[in-house]
Structure 1
Amino acid sequence: MKWNVREWLQRYGPAEVLSILATLAAAGLTFQLTGSYVSTALAGTWAGNAAYFGYILALDIWQTRRQLRAAGRAYSAHTLGRNLRALVVEFGLAEVFDSLLIRPALMYYLPKAVGSLSGGILLAKILADVTFYVPAIVSYELSKKRLRRF
């Protein structure tokens, strides 16, 4: 597999920035409201995911619309389905382990371990991203030839 670091940074970088902001905001607010580390870990995970995948989906739709428009074709519900399928292939396996196990567990334990809510949440996000991106990038590269040609 070719190392497409610039492409990966362009694809995932802005989504990560949004995800970090959403994660920290949701975790901080949830902890203030509930004082619960479990609720904080789940809220941080879900808010980060919503921001991340919302951006990635919007990016894919925008790129596909632009590509189809240049070819004189319309973006349709079928095309949206293909965009969604490509995202499931790209992130499905990585996301199952990440959202259901790794990220919430790290966001629960690390704030306690480091003695700082925001520091622990940020460290948890960074560590979880390592286990998330390896399978996600491999799947993305494998899916480009078959699932991302419109």
Structure 2
Amino acid sequence: MFSKSKFKEWVNRYKYAELAATSTALLCSQLSYFFDGVTTAYLITFAEYFAFYSVIIWISYLQLQKIPKQSEQENTFKTIAVLAKNILLEFGYPAVLDFFFLRPFCMYWLPIVTGNAVIGILMGKLCADVVFYFFSIVNYELMKSKNT
């Protein structure tokens, strides 16, 4: 299942969304000056998710638009339905686990453990991303194998 070409495919699939999410997390880490740790952890998580899924949805929509069209109105609805289904199948339970439990936990505790907000946020993000991407990539590969 794991090969150099697969790894390259996964990096190409998630790189822009991850860049947006990481940038957003680092910017939002400055909220720790205004809010307590738990509030900051959830604000960072929410902002990071907004950035990540905005890019993922936009890229997925553009890819679906490349599919030949029959009727403009019919395909707009079909495109949105397929997009929503694919996003839910790929990111559904990993996102719920990550958003409500794992990422806020990591974003709260790792800045405390490291004693540095920025380094702690980066480490927390990395820890949460490893778990999130493991499950998301498994789902992505299962979706691809069922569509072929």
Q: TM-score, normalised by structure 1?
A: 0.88
Mapping 1:60-79, distance limit 5 Å: 60-68=60-68, 74=72, 75-79=75-79
Q: Which consecutive unaligned segments of at least 5 residues does structure 2 have?
A: none
Q: Which consecutive unaligned segments of at least 5 residues does structure 1 have?
A: none
Match of 1:93 in 2: 93
* Root mean square deviation, CA, Å: 1.7
Match of 1:43 in 2: 43
- The DSSP-based 3-state class of the residue aligned with 1:67 is coil
Q: After superposition, what is the alpha-carbon deviation per residue over 1:21-62, rounded to whole angstroms, capped at 9, x for unaligned? A: 11111221x21222x101110011111111111101100000
- CA positional deviation for 1:7: 1.0
Match of 2:21 in 1: 19
Match of 1:134 in 2: 134
Q: What is the aligned residue count?
A: 144
Contact persistence 1:18–1:52 (CA under 8 A): yes
Following TM superposition, the consecutive aligned residue runs of length 4 or more in structure 1 with deviations greater than 4 angstroms are none
Q: After superposition, what is the alpha-carbon deviation per residue over 1:86-125, rounded to whole angstroms, capped at 9, x for unaligned? A: 1110011111111110110010011011000011001000
Partner Cα distance (1:6, 1:64) in 2: 21
Report % sequence identity. Answer: 31
Partner Cα distance (2:2, 2:99) in 1: 28
Contact persistence 1:23–1:43 (CA under 8 A): no
